[in-house]
Amino acid sequence: MHLIMILNALAVAWWLRSSWNQPQASWSLRWGRSLFLFLFPPLLIFMTAIAVLFMGPQGAMGGITGSVSYVVALIYMAFFAILCIKLAFQGWQSVESARKCPLVNLGDKRARLLQTGALFAGQIGFWQPELVVSQGLVQTLSPEHLESVLAHEQGHHYYRDTFWFFWLGWVRSCTAWLPNTEPLWEELLALRELRADGYAALQVDPLVLAESLLLVVSTSPVLSEICCAALGSSGAGDRLEQRIEALLAPPEPIAEAQLQSWHGFLLAFLPLVAVIFHS
């Protein structure tokens, strides 16, 4: 019975991920659907594994022992934990590397100055990230363009993108074998940047921000993307074109996440109900 639970969870997760296609809708609809299809399948698998572990290897449901499914669930949970520790360590290394950079004042903001000629600006850290800019960015951009870049990075700070996308990146690593993991991840990255662009466009000229974006994404990333939210993220190909078009178009309101939008995720906790009826 326990093995059937695991197989059912895997089948539902695979089916949901396979149903995704590139949406052409408003920001809020794209964000809600992409986040659900990205997060719900692994959450369902995770909850199923927890339920199987709680029921133990000596399951009595249907008269079938659950030792095999228990071992499978235990291995999968260990895999989740190891990946989390690995990503956390890599993120810590990124934070420590950023903290070695000297502090500078950029107007009313303080930032870490990265000694490189590449054009880079990003938030580095977890819940309370630090602004990191490169020497090349400060020397190359005009004060107006630099202000637009800092406004974009303030958007990442406001939405706590480094924190939330660390956990989403962990989910990405754990479920790389599911269909559409990479397209959904790229979609969420693009929507994250559109949200930060929208935040900045309320404070600076969108055209100036678009010009800054074209300059910054022309250079390769200089830091790991783990625990990092940078202006140039997801800037290749049609993603860059999409961001430029959004900046030049009339601003689209970006609604805050509503409680009811999370109701669908409660279905992922259904496997835990089986623990109550287990003997």
Pairing mode, if any, of strands 130-134 and 121-124? antiparallel
Given a cut of 60, is residue 230 above it in pLDDT?
A: yes
Instruction: Give per-residue burial for 43-67: e unless 16+ CB within 10 Å, then b.
Output: bbbbbbbbbbbebebebebeeebbe
pLDDT the model gives residue 64: 47
Closest CA to 161 of 136, 134, 133, 197: 197
pTM: 0.86
How many angstroms separate the CA atoms of 120 and 214, rounded? 12
> Would you say 174 and 80 are in contact if contact means Cβ atoms under 8 Å apart?
yes
Crossing angle between the packed helical segments 67-99 and 27-55, to the nearest 10 degrees = 130
Token code pair at residue 151: 């406004």
Q: What percent of the chain has pLDDT over 90?
A: 36
Q: What residues contact 3, with CB distance under 8 A and at least 6 apart?
A: 66, 68, 69, 72
Backbone angles phi, psi at 232, to 5 degrees: -85, 5
What's the pLDDT tens digit per position in 87-131? 999 999 888 888 888 999 988 889 999 888 888 888 998 888 999
Given a cut of 50, is residue 8 above it in pLDDT?
A: yes
Choose from 42-46, 213-217, 260-264 the range with maximum mean pLDDT.
42-46
pLDDT the model gives residue 220: 56
End-to-end CA separation in angstroms for the chain = 12
Residue written as token pair 């200089």: 222
Average pLDDT over every residue of 240-253: 78
Give just the sign of the alpha carbon dihedral 256, 259, 262, 268.
Answer: positive
Q: What residues contact 211, with CB distance under 8 A and at least 6 apart?
A: 145
How many angstroms separate the CA atoms of 217 and 224, rounded? 15
Average pLDDT over every residue of 210-237: 71
Given a cut of 50, is residue 58 above it in pLDDT?
A: yes
Q: Which residue has the higher pLDDT, 256 or 138?
A: 138
Given a cut of 80, is residue 43 above it in pLDDT?
A: yes
Token code pair at residue 124: 């580095």
pLDDT the model gives residue 188: 92
> Would you say 260 and 192 are in contact if contact means Cβ atoms under 8 Å apart?
no
How many angstroms separate the CA atoms of 55 and 275, rounded? 6
Given a cut of 70, is residue 246 above it in pLDDT?
A: yes
What's the pLDDT tens digit per position in 63-85? 444 677 788 888 888 999 999 99
Cα radius of gyration rounded to whole Å, the chain: 22
Choose from 58-67, 179-188, 248-257 the range with maximum mean pLDDT.
179-188
Average pLDDT over every residue of 36-59: 85
Token code pair at residue 146: 């630099």
Crossing angle between the packed helical segments 161-174 and 27-55, to the nearest 10 degrees = 60
Average pLDDT over every residue of 26-46: 88
Q: What percent of the chain has pLDDT over 70?
A: 85
Report the chain's mean pLDDT, rounded to a whole number. 83
